[in-house]
Chains A and B, each alone.
Chain A
C-alpha cells in the first residue's frame, strides 16, 4: 500500500500535467510551415507558371494575417512582391493561409518568406528555362 501511494505521488510529481514551456523545444515547422502544393522546388521562368504556396500555423494562433514576401516573381492577387492572407481555414489542429506566386521570365533562384508575429519561415524556388 505504501509503495502504491509513493509511486502515485512520484508519478504525479514527475509526469505533471502539462509539457514544459521552452522555446527551443518547439520546432520551426510546428510554429510556421511554408511549402508549395504540390511540393516542387522549381517552376518555369515563362512569366506564366505559378506556384501555390501554403503556410500552416497552429490552430491556437488564431485567425491571423500571414504575410508572404518574395525576392522574385509576383503574387497574382497583389501584383507585387508582398501579399497578406488570413489564416481562416482550419482542420482543427492547424490553420492555413495561401498565396499564388507567378514566375518571372528571367531564370533565377528566389526566396519566399511567410511571417506571423515574430516567426518567419523561408523556402527557395528556382525559375528555370
Chain B
C-alpha cells in the first residue's frame, strides 16, 4: 500500500479514535461553568474546560437554605485534590478522612485560588437568582486537564458570620485523544538552489499536553508552559506544488503528494502583551490559529544524471505558515467509515 494511502488511513483512525470515546459535553462553546449550588455539582455534570479561565455562574434555587435569598458570598475557594470532594470541607488545606475500614488519614488539598464577594445590595443578584463570578480564576491561573478540583462556596447569612452556609462543587476536567492532535493547512516554501518550491500542505500535529482551542495564548502561563502549548511535532502531506523553480521538476512522491515533517510553533505572533483580553479578540482568532512550521520536505525529482531514468526521493528543509483546521469537522466522514462517531 502506498505511503499516501497509509497516511489517509492514519488520519481516519486517529479521528475515529478521537471520537470513539465519548465524554460528557463541555459547557457548550464558551468558558462558562454553571454551578448548581443546591446539589453541589456542575449543571448536567458537564466537564469544566481546562487551560482557560472559566466564568463561574451559579444558578440559585429560590431560598436556598429555606431562609433568606443569598446575600453574600464570603469566599470561594478552589482546591486541587486526588479524589472526590470530601464532606465537611471547611477551607483549610488539609482534612482527616476515614476510609471504609475506619482508618484515618490526613488528606491535603492544594489551594488554587480564593476570592471574596460581598454584595450589600440584594438586587445585584438579579431577578433570576443568578450569580456571576467573573474571573474567579485569575490571569495566569487555569485548571489543568484530567484533574479533579473542589470548589468550596461559603457564605454567611448574617453579618456576624454565625449562620454559615457552605457547599462544595466538584469540578472535573478531562481531555480526549483528539486534544493532543491538531490538524492544520497552509503553505510551505523550500528555498534551495534549483529547488525554490512553494507548496500547500496539510499536517497532523501532536502535542505533549492536551490543547484546548479556547485557551488564550496571550495569557501569562509561564515560559515553559507557553512552549508546551505552542510546540508540536507533525507529519503531513503536500498534495499541491504551486510553483517549482527547478531545472528538474518536482513530482509527487506518493499518490497523494509529497510529504512533510517537522516542528510547529503555534501563535508565533501572538504573545502576552499585558492588555485586557477584550482587546485581544481579533488577535486570538487571527494570530493564535496561525502556526509557523520548520521541517523537511520529502519530494520526488528526476535525477540530473540523465543516465538515471525515473525519479529519486529527496529531502530539503522548508518553512511554512499554516492555520488550524478542525479535526473533527474535516475528518468526521472518514471517522464514520472506520466506525467512529
Contacts and interface: CB of A to CB of B under 8 A. Distances in A.
B299 to A, nearest CB: 9
Contact of A116 (B294, B307, B316): B307
Contact of A57 (B194, B247, B307, B314): B307
B256 interface: no
A74 to B, nearest CB: 27
A21 to B, nearest CB: 4
A20 B308 contact: no
A17 B307 contact: no
Contacts of A25: 304
Q: List the 3 shortest-distance A-B pairs measured between CB atoms, nearest first.
A: A20-B194, A31-B307, A21-B304
Interface of B: 191-195, 246-248, 294, 296, 301-309, 312, 314-317
24 contacts: A9-B294, A13-B317, A16-B317, A17-B314, A17-B316, A18-B192, A21-B194, A21-B246, A21-B247, A21-B301, A22-B194, A22-B248, A23-B248, A26-B304, A30-B305, A31-B306, A31-B307, A57-B307, A58-B307, A60-B303, A60-B312, A61-B305, A116-B307, A117-B306
Nearest to A27: B305
Given A17-B316, A117-B306, 19 more contacts: A13-B317, A16-B192, A17-B296, A18-B314, A18-B315, A18-B316, A21-B246, A21-B247, A21-B304, A21-B314, A23-B248, A26-B304, A26-B305, A31-B305, A58-B305, A58-B308, A60-B308, A64-B309, A117-B309
B270 to A, nearest CB: 21
Interface residues of A, number: 25
Contacts of B301: 21
A93 interface: no
A57 B306 CA distance: 10
